[in-house]
Structure 1
Amino acid sequence: MPKYLIERKMPGVGMLSSEELRGASQTSNQVLASMQQDGKNVQWVESYVTDNAIHCIYIAPNEEAIREHAQTAGFPADGVHQIRSTISPMTAE
């Protein structure tokens, strides 16, 4: 299944407390569970919180499922990009 990088522009998100981030995570998990019950297999892998954005890695059948999750959860999805490959310092060897 394809893997996606999602950019969520959220000014000031880097200043959220652990409790606020926990609440956002719980909301995301609830929407994902509901989607899975409907037969839509969307998986959240991890997210990186910066000062003004959250960058998320998801596995999903298509971009539409990613956008449905974002809309239902009330999160922005300013950029949704399918990851075509992964490189690292080990790629050079």
Structure 2
Amino acid sequence: MPTFIIERDVPGADKLSQDDLCALSAKSNAVVADLGVPYTWITSYVAGDKLYCVHEAPSADVIREHAERGGFPANRITEVAAVIGPSTASQGRGK
């Protein structure tokens, strides 16, 4: 299933309380449960005035539906083309 990074503009996101984050998470989980399609919320990062979320879903349209149903912004949705990390350096050609 494709993986997407969702950029959400949320002014003051880095100042949200633990209770606020808990409520956002609960709302997201409820929407995921009601979507009726395979969907996995992998993780989210709170940074400045943004949330960066990593989700697996059949399409960007399903990501948008999740956002609309939950009342969350989805300012940019980008499909992940590849995942790399430190060990990727040793997997190149000629290694």
Q: Which TM-score band applies after superposition, normalised by the shorter structure?
A: over 0.9
For each residue in 1:56-89, what CA deviation from the matched residue of structure 2 results, as whole angstroms up to 9, or x when unmatched? 0000000000000000000000010000101112
How far is the alpha carbon of 1:29 from its aligned partner? 0.3
For each residue in 1:19-39, what CA deviation from the matched residue of structure 2 results, as whole angstroms up to 9, or x when unmatched? 10000000000000011xx3x
Rg larger in structure? 2
For structure 2, the 5+ residue unaligned runs are 91-95
Which residue of structure 2 lines up, in the alignment, with residue 48 of structure 1?
45
3-state SS of 2:54 partner: strand
Structure 1 residue 62 corresponds to structure 2 residue 45: no
- Separation in structure 1 between the aligned mates of residue 57 and residue 31 of structure 2, nearest angstrom: 14
How far is the alpha carbon of 1:17 from its aligned partner? 0.4
Structure 1 residue 81 corresponds to structure 2 residue 78: yes
**Residues 1-40 of structure 1 aligned to structure 2 (within 5 Å):** 1-35=1-35, 38=36, 40=37
Q: Aligned residues, how many?
A: 90
For 1:49, give the aligned amino acid.
Answer: V
Q: What is the aligned-residue identity percentage? A: 39
- Separation in structure 2 between the aligned mates of residue 89 and residue 29 of structure 1, nearest angstrom: 32
Extract structure 1 runs of 4+ deviating beyond 6 A.
Answer: none
How far is the alpha carbon of 1:92 from its aligned partner? 1.1
